[in-house]
Structure 1
Amino acid sequence: MTDCGCEKARKDLEEYLRNEICATEHSEIRAHLENCQSCKDEALVATTLTEVIARACKESAPEELRAQVFARLREVQASAH
């Protein structure tokens, strides 16, 4: 297993985290992350951000807010006609 270096690891980090690269490149980036704290930290930030966004996308707006948004949309639609 070889270390691909910071430039390659950072360039392909998103694909690596989503398992969208070939096994050889995956192994090289994994080897790099094991030995480079800076790139490892960047991978942690990317992973954490992805998880937070995924959780936020699953949440629903409070019913009162939803009602206000739909009421405002109806007002805008009515005034456009």
Structure 2
Amino acid sequence: MTHQHDDTHGHDPSNEECADFLERIMRLIDNELEAGDCAVVRAHIDTCSPCLERYDLQRTVKAIVARSCSETAPTELRERVRIRIQEIQVQITEG
């Protein structure tokens, strides 16, 4: 007996439209979409069970990772990274 997803669109969750929405779902979770795009993605999620499941899973994983990553980098490492970023900015400006 196989379990099939209930999708009101009747789409295979691996089709191109859903594949496009997967990337947009990640951007939605990261607050990287404009308001109009958010509405489109949310409307798709509301009507596509497989994409809703992926949205919920990605949100859960992101929350777990955020809770697990409470450590901060050592001061020396942060300073080296800051200096290197400044060096690269100077190279780009002068380049």
* Superposition TM-score tier, normalisation by shorter sequence: 0.5 to 0.7
Q: Distance in 2 between matches of 1:11 and 1:20?
A: 11
> Shift of residue 11 of structure 1?
2.1
2:44 is the counterpart of 1:44: no
Hey, which of these two has a bigger chunk of helix by percent? 1
Show structure 2 runs of 5+ residues with no match.
1-16, 72-95
Alpha-carbon deviation of 1:7? 3.0
Regions of 4+ moved over 3 Å: none
CA RMSD of aligned residues (A): 1.4
Q: How many residues align?
A: 55
1:10 paired with 2:15, answer no
TM-score (norm 1): 0.61
The match for 2:67 among 55, 68, 75 is 55
How many angstroms apart in 2 are the aligned matches of 1:25 and 1:10?
13
The normalised TM-score by structure 2 is 0.53
Give the structure 2 partner of residue 19 of structure 1: 31
SS in 1 for 2:69: helix
> d(CA) in 2 for partners of 1:55 and 1:33?
25
In the alignment, structure 1 segments of 5+ residues that lack a partner are 60-81
Q: Which residue of 1 aligns with 2:78?
A: none
Max radius of gyration: which structure? 1
Distance 1:8 1:22 in 2: 16
| Structure 1 letter corresponding to 2:23 | K
